[in-house]
Amino acid sequence: MSPTSKLGQKFIIRAFRAPDDPKACKLFAMGHEHLLRSVGVEKISSSGFEWADNLAVFVIVIESSDRTRVYGGLRVHIADKVTQLPIEKAVGDADPTLGASIALHNRASIGEICGLWNSLEAARYGVGSNLLARAVVAISTRLNLTRLIVLTAPYVINMVEDLGFIINRTFGRNGEFIYPRPDMIATLLINDDLDSLASAREEEREAVVELRNNPEIKIVENIRGKNVELQYKLSIENGQFVS
């Protein structure tokens, strides 16, 4: 990625603590629910809205430059001793050892990525899940996380593996769970090397490092023959995002 002054379709990729922006949380939730319904999933464990008041939840959105539209996003839930992680609610009954393992780990250093979605409108510009995934890995070290976990659909596995995530075959059935419907499979992946990202594909590691070094970077990428301007807003000071 490299900065440039050329103009094109503009998107903001912004991170914030959930309670700090109720409007953006609502737009995120509405877009996520719409996408789930479009693929025949009425509800999943992480699609509620109680997370919007949780100080341990951070959100990354792809939004319009005037912040009136959200085209995609994800959340990272930081484990605490109060609220279960979404994965514990989703598949904890299927494998009780999962919750026990999280409890044994330093919970405050674990984050779960969930609620990942992007709209068809953004996807037409090639703007979507991969950029969100890079962003959440980039901010993970600023949040003092040492482990990121994600329960993901088959079509996203390669994308997160490129960022250094590894399928954890200890839990479920060789790392797989029946979720969110009886005819669907989700796979658990974990990244325990958020600092160096030694297992990540070189291109992805370089992209993450650039975002860590330049969290407010504005770039233009030529995606599918179109110039797309991306304004990242990922700054954090003392564990708090700068608005």
pLDDT: which is higher, 179 or 7: 179
* Domain limits for position 55: 9-241
In a domain, 3, yes or no: no
- CATH code, 218: 3.40.630.30
Task: Please say if the pLDDT value at position 115 is more than 60.
Answer: yes
Give the pLDDT of residue 176. Answer: 96
Distance CA 58, CA 214 (A): 19
Where does the pLDDT of residue 5 fall: very low under 50, low under 70, confident under 90, or very high at 90 and above?
very low
In this structure, is residue 221 part of a structural domain?
Answer: yes
**pLDDT digit string, tens, across residues 53-74:** 999 999 999 999 899 999 999 9
Give the pair of three-digit tokens for residue 50.
Answer: 């109680």
pLDDT, residue 44, reads 58
Q: What's the whole-number mean pLDDT along residues 19-31?
A: 94
Query: How far is it, in rounded angstroms, from Cα 140 to Cα 78?
Result: 10
pLDDT attached to residue 222: 81
Does 174 reside within a domain?
yes
| pTM for this model (two decimals) | 0.89
25 belongs to a structural domain: yes
Q: What does the DSSP assignment read for 20-65?
A: G-HHHHHHHHHHHHHHHHHTT----TT-SSGGGG-TTEEEEEEE-T
Q: Given pLDDT bands bounded at 50, 70 and 90, which one contains residue 103?
A: confident
Q: Which residues contact 131 (CB under 8 A, 6 or more apart)?
A: 13, 62, 230
Answer yes or no: is 2 within a domain. no
Does residue 60 form part of some domain? yes
Residue 241 backbone phi and psi in degrees, to 5: -75, 145
Of residues 6, 1, 10, 5, the one with CA closest to residue 125 = 10
Give how many domains the chain has, as a whole number.
1
Q: What is the pLDDT of residues 192-220, one digit of tens each?
A: 999 999 999 999 999 999 999 999 999 98
Average pLDDT, the chain: 88
Is there a domain that residue 1 lies in? Answer: no
Confidence category of residue 83, pLDDT binned at 50, 70, 90: confident
Say if 41 falls within a structural domain: yes
Quote the pLDDT of residue 243. 44
